[in-house]
Amino acid sequence: MDFDRMPKDWPYRDHARRVRSRPHDWCVIDAGDPAAPALLLLHGAGGSGHSFRHLIPLLAPAYRVIVPDLPGQGFTRAGNRSRFGLDPMAEDIATLCQTLKIAPVAAIGHSAGAAIALRLAEILPLDKVIGINAALGSFEGAAGVMFPLMARVLAVTPFIPAVVSRLWGNAQTVNRLLASTGSPLDAEGQAQYLTLVRDTAHVDGTLGMMAQWKLDALMARLPALQTPTLLIASDKDNAVPARVSADAARHMADARFQMVEGYGHLVHEEAAARVAALALDFLRGNPAN
């Protein structure tokens, strides 16, 4: 989407700025005290920084909250479409931090953003990582081969993003997609996701990320990761089952698992106060509750 045409009512529009950091033209929400410790928030595939709109005001009193739109998604314009995979994204976000002259003390990632946060912990000296319904699983059987293959075909077919945007870019379809994750959201949230789905460039970036996404190497290294990690999962998540986070936590050197009951995949949008309380307790060194 075009940064200069960002809707006037877009969440944290007044805190969003354009940052040129090779190879991308980033949209970054920068909220909180500039002198406070920096906290990095990373959204999942198909979303944007807007998904943290309810979480940001709960974290900003204690942190400088930095929320980029991922390359090719939201209002970040991709400078290199070959860098939508896990490793390149983490590397480019690390470069973005250098450009911003920040050293994040921690990263919070939702869904695929959690995988990026964990990969980033191997690149930057993060004190802690928090995953929210972390997408750390893989497709099983034939789907494990066919889904990425189909995504690659879709991503390199010029007219496909426009077709997807046109077919899915209606309120009924978007609301049904959100509900299928276990998180129907309110009218405001539904309208924001509709804005994203209607944008061809955003759909193209999302398909590109799906096509280039590979987790095997990161998952193989997770047991060696020493960064303290909190994996929050919700029991009604129909997109990433809670057992994915529970299993990952069991195989990590310093990780804990926390279940939140009654919410779906977008729990940070549905129950921001609960998620913020868990995150702040963990960041401050208190036990999850």
Percentage above 70 pLDDT, the chain: 90
Q: What are the tens digits of pLDDT across the range 19-35?
A: 999 999 999 999 999 99
Q: What is the CATH number of domain 3-139+215-283?
A: 3.40.50.1820
Q: pTM to 2 decimals?
A: 0.93
Structure tokens at 124: 């930057």
Structure tokens at 48: 């944007």
**CA dihedral angle for residue 110, residue 173, residue 77, residue 53, rounded to 10 degrees:** -40
Q: What are the tens digits of pLDDT across the range 128-158?
A: 999 999 999 865 444 444 445 445 555 555 6
Whether residue 184 is predicted with pLDDT greater than 70 in this model: the reply is: yes
Q: What are the tens digits of pLDDT across the range 217-249?
A: 999 999 999 999 999 999 999 989 999 999 999
Instruction: Please tell me what DSSP assigns to residue 60.
Output: T
Task: Note the pLDDT of residue 22.
Answer: 95
Give the phi and the psi of residue 83 in degrees, each rounded to 5: -115, 45
Query: Residue 213 contacts by C-beta under 8 Å, 6 or more apart in sequence?
Result: 45, 84, 85, 86, 112, 148, 151
Closest CA to 138 of 42, 215, 52: 215
Confidence of residue 127 (pLDDT cuts 50, 70, 90): very high
Closest CA to 255 of 220, 218, 224, 289: 224
Task: Note the pLDDT of residue 138.
Answer: 65
Residue 72 CA to residue 204 CA, distance in Å, equals: 7
| Domains of the chain, residue spans | 3-139+215-283
User: Helix-strand-coil percent breakdown of the chain, rounded to 5?
Assistant: 45, 15, 40
**pLDDT averaged over every residue in the chain:** 91
Query: Helix 171-180 crosses helix 187-197 at what angle (to 10 degrees)?
Result: 110
Beta-strand relationship, 24-31 and 64-68: antiparallel
Q: What are the tens digits of pLDDT across the range 55-97?
A: 999 999 999 999 999 999 999 999 999 999 999 999 999 999 9
